[in-house]
Amino acid sequence: MENQLIDHLFRYHSGKMVSVLTRIFGLSNLEIVEDAVQDTFIKASMSWRKQVPENPEAWLTQAAKNRILDIFRKLKTEKNYLPNFYQGANTIAINELFLESEIEDAQLRMIFTACHPKLNAKDRIAFALKTVSGFSSKEIASALLTKEETVKKRLVRARKVIQKENLTFQIPQGKALKKRLESVLEVLYLIFNEGFHSNKKEQLIQEELCGEAMRLCKMLLKNIHTRTSESYALFALMCFHAARLESKTNAQNQILDLEHQDRSLWHYPLIELGNSMMYKAVENNEFSCYHYEAAIASEHLKAKTFNATNWDKILYWYKCLNSLQPMANHLLTMAVICIQKNDLQKADTYLSKLNANDFEQRKYLFYGTKSDFYAAKKNLKKAITHINLAIESVNNQLEKEHLIKKKIKLHQN
């Protein structure tokens, strides 16, 4: 139980601690800061074996403050360098740095620093997931559909660039802000998606990741400079998806697709919040990929039953989305929609443009769709061949069980 609690707190608080401590000691000491935060949680795991403190968050905050003094002494000894906390108009006392508003400011600085244009685009995403949300290299690899070793190299590369270019720990202004904000939104989108559809073997949903992405997105909306139509659209999308989290699995922890989800479990306050965010998102005519994805999610939520889904409208929004941001995932989903509409010729057109390697760790989605396509064509032999390929390539145990159930149904036909 203690380990679960520590994992939960690490997810929520390591990014906060790293950001606040980096604000104090600077990006040049980032590795020392990250090690210090890691040590704090190791200390917690040992200390809490006997008894978990009454207020774990306060314990960790105090531990982080103590670590400030430890780092302070370490830097003075090793580098003959001592940050002066009490000089200058912008200096804030250590205790005040742990106020919620100051933590948010530090985290915004961190995520904008991580998305600096001097960093390679792929390195930015990996580095932000690591520093802001405490992702492990394995989780980042899963979110980015790449190898863990590749992620480790990206993190090393990012740290080297930060040191070499002497990057500053701040939120950009003017024209630089818009470009940087695009990277920030992409990172939050990936964090949410990893939570909404996890690649972890035994867990389909990681609600804490969805919550973390939404928390960070809300931080953007609180800041007048980062409160854009695109930010509102992304937050609306998160609300729409989060509203369905409870219905994605049943009491036996089995996956339920949209057709079989209990729509009474959908969280309507979140849907209403998403709708209000979309009203703000469309106040101008600048539509992003998040606008179109939110529109698609909204269409699903509008349908009172699965059969009442407006597939033509959803296909239209996907075409808009793919025109703006061409991706294999979009073409695959368009094929799924055409199978649902029984327009198999059009589905075949989309599928012919794809192959399994386009989807890396999610190859099973391609094979599963091909299986559905052949099942709709009454070609059970090919349908079973492809469902077998899907089962072989899936990592998540719940997804595997779901696919096995589909295979059993195919054999029954």
**One-character DSSP codes across 161-207:** HHHHHT--SS---THHHHHHHHHHHHHHHHHHHHHHT---TT-S--H
**Residue 205 included in any domain:** no
**Residue 129 included in any domain:** no
Q: Which residues pair with 249 in a beta bridge?
A: 255
**Residue 131 included in any domain:** no
Q: Is the dihedral of CA 398, 399, 402, 404 positive or negative?
A: negative
Burial (0-12, 13-18, 19+ Cβ within 10 Å), 65: middle
Q: How many CB atoms lie within 10 A of CB 360?
A: 12
User: What values do phi and psi take at 170, rounded to 5?
Assistant: -155, 165
Q: Which residue matches tokens 């998305």? A: 115
| The pLDDT value given to residue 90 | 39
Q: 3-class SS at 255?
A: strand
The tokens for 47 are 């200390």
**Residue 220 included in any domain:** no
- The last residue of one of the domains, among 44, 68, 98, is 98
The tokens for 42 are 């190791």
Which residues, 6+ apart, have CB-to-CB distance to 222 below 8 Å?
A: 104
Which residues, 6+ apart, have CB-to-CB distance to 132 below 8 Å?
A: 15, 18, 19, 107, 110, 111, 114, 187, 216
Please list the pLDDT of the chain residue by residue as tens digits (413 residues).
456 666 777 767 888 888 888 888 888 888 888 888 888 878 877 888 778 888 887 887 777 777 777 777 776 665 555 455 444 433 456 667 667 777 888 889 998 998 888 898 889 888 988 888 887 788 788 767 678 999 999 999 999 999 898 888 888 888 889 888 998 998 899 888 877 765 555 555 567 778 888 988 999 999 898 999 999 999 999 999 999 988 887 777 777 788 888 899 999 999 999 999 999 999 988 899 999 999 999 999 999 999 999 999 999 999 999 999 999 999 999 999 999 999 999 999 999 999 998 988 789 999 999 999 999 999 999 999 999 999 999 887 888 888 899 989 888 77
**Residue 169 near residue 114, CB atoms below 8 Å:** no
131-185 confidence digits (pLDDT tens): 888 877 887 887 676 789 999 999 999 999 998 988 888 888 888 898 889 989 9
Angstrom distance (rounded) from CA 373 to CA 115: 40
- The last residue of one of the domains, among 98, 115, 131, is 98
**Residue 47 included in any domain:** yes
393 Cα distance to chain centroid: 22
* Number of continuous H segments (helices) and E segments (strands) in the chain: 19, 0
Please state the domain count of the chain.
Answer: 2
Domain around 342: 327-413
CATH number, domain containing residue 389? 1.25.40
**Residue 373 included in any domain:** yes
- The last residue of one of the domains, among 98, 120, 141, is 98
**Residue 313 included in any domain:** no
**Residue 256 included in any domain:** no
Which residues, 6+ apart, have CB-to-CB distance to 155 below 8 Å?
A: 123, 126, 127, 130, 137
Q: 3-class SS at 309?
A: coil
Q: Which helix (H) or strand (E) holds 68?
A: helix 56-79
Q: 3-class SS at 263?
A: helix
* Count of all residues that appear for the chain in the document: 413
Burial (0-12, 13-18, 19+ Cβ within 10 Å), 72: middle
